Amino acid sequence: MKQIVKILTLLLAVTAVWIGLLQTSTIPESYTWLLPLYLIVSLGCYGLLMVGVGLMNFPTCPQEALFLQQDIIEAKEFLKKKGVDVGSD
Amino acid sequence: MAEKNKYSIIIPTYNERLNIALIVYLVFKHLSDVDFEIIVVDDGSPDGTQDIVKQLQKVYGEDRILLRPRPRKLGLGTAYIHGLKHASGNFVVIMDADLSHHPKYLPRFIKKQMETGASIVTGTRYVTGGGVHGWNLMRKLTSRGANVLAQTLLWPGVSDLTGSFRLYQKSALEDIISSCVSKGYVFQMEMIVRASRKGYHIEEVPITFVDRVFGSSKLGGSEIVEYLKGLLYLLVTT
């Protein structure tokens, strides 16, 4: 099943539940009408939260840049000895 | 470490004269007990990348470093297909030539594959032990936003979709690559999403990503539009 179909099916199922709630009035109807709005707001909050948390915990590796510099120096020395032209840039 | 397995490391290059030499040295340093070959697919670099590769062939042997050039810039996806044609290993590694991918992680990819029997091992920057260096806040924000969007819409089962440091079983790569049409890093996303949909066993290893040329990862408005188009494309085709 294509991903878009999966997502639409999920949406359809949620809509069906919502319509069910509207029909049976298990909770007051005025609340039920607001549920889609809550859904959209909570989806937005979820997105922002995930981006925020991801940004806060963004893994960085400054020490790797230093290691790489050392590796580059080592590699250049070796290659120069072997006659590979690494000096020009 | 590996007796029977052979690893073909495909590195597409364009004006990577110095970097390709450094990468080759580091690959040989870190994969001393593994059977491998390096396939350089150079797209007609004017800076003499191919001359350097020929010099490296003299040092390491023409059977270990293969130069398979193309006349001009023809795109990343076709570079892998081109390299794949000349690959003699049963596993294929793809990595960038600009040293943002460090060859020291190669043994971890290989070990992970052996432990799990996975068809694909993909490097991820977004978990503990991985990481990125040289990105400003804007770059991080875009990357995060893109990732959350893709995770929410595509449910791909991997944490780093656009990373391009990966180990593939050769047959799996051949199978997947033929159905991929995207360009740039959307191509990497398409590869891993299609692989996931086809039911290939995918494992992840943490890698670090050092952006040496600050701001070299161009991420302008057009890149974002391309990304969103790619996302939409994958939504309706996978």
Enumerate the residues of chain A whose CB falls inside 8 A of the CB of residue B52: 84-86
Taking contacts as CB-CB distances below 8 angstroms, the residues of chain B near A51 are 141, 144-145, 148
Pick among A58, A74, A89 to test the B interface (most B CBs inside 10 A) = A58
| Model confidence pLDDT, tens digit, residues A11-53 | 999 999 999 988 887 888 888 889 999 999 999 999 999 999 9
pLDDT tens sequence across B129-149: 999 998 989 889 999 999 999
> If interface means Cβ-Cβ distance under 8 Å, which residues of chain A face chain B?
2-4, 6-7, 47, 50-51, 54-55, 58-62, 64-65, 68, 71-72, 75-76, 78-79, 82-86, 88-89
Q: Give the closest residue to B82 by CA, choosing from B68, B72, B71, B95.
A: B68
Rounded CA-CA distance B238/B19 in Å is: 36
DSSP B70: B
Are A64 and B238 an interchain contact pair (Cβ–Cβ within 8 Å)?
A: no
Q: In whole angstroms, give the CA distance from residue B49 to residue B103.
A: 19
Residues of chain A with pLDDT > 90: what percent?
Answer: 74
Residue B198 zone, left/alpha/beta (φ > 0; ψ -120 to 50; rest): alpha
Query: Percent helix, strand, coil in chain B (nearest 5)?
Result: 45, 20, 35
Kindly state the DSSP code that residue B104 receives in the 8-state scheme. G
Helix axes B17-30 and A62-81, enclosed angle (nearest 10): 100
> Do the Cβ atoms of A84 and B34 come closer than 8 Å?
no
Q: State which residue of chain B sits closest to A2, comparing Cα positions.
A: B238
In the numeric block, which tokens belong to residue B101?
């991918």
Q: Residue B6's closest CA among B78, B115, B103, B113?
A: B113
ipTM above 0.90, yes or no: no
Give the pLDDT confidence of B167-184 residue by residue, as tens digits.
Answer: 999 999 999 998 888 887
User: How many beta-carbon pairs under 8 angstroms link A with B?
Assistant: 104
Kindly list the distances between the CA atom of residue B229 and the CA atoms of A51, B196, B235, in Å, as whole numbers in the listed order. Answer: 20, 20, 10
Looking at residue A67, the DSSP 8-state letter turns out to be H
Per-residue model confidence (pLDDT) at position B76: 85
Predicted confidence at residue B131, as pLDDT, reads 93
State the pLDDT confidence band at B2, using cuts at 50, 70 and 90: very low
Quick check: B63 and B142 in contact, CB under 8 A?
A: no
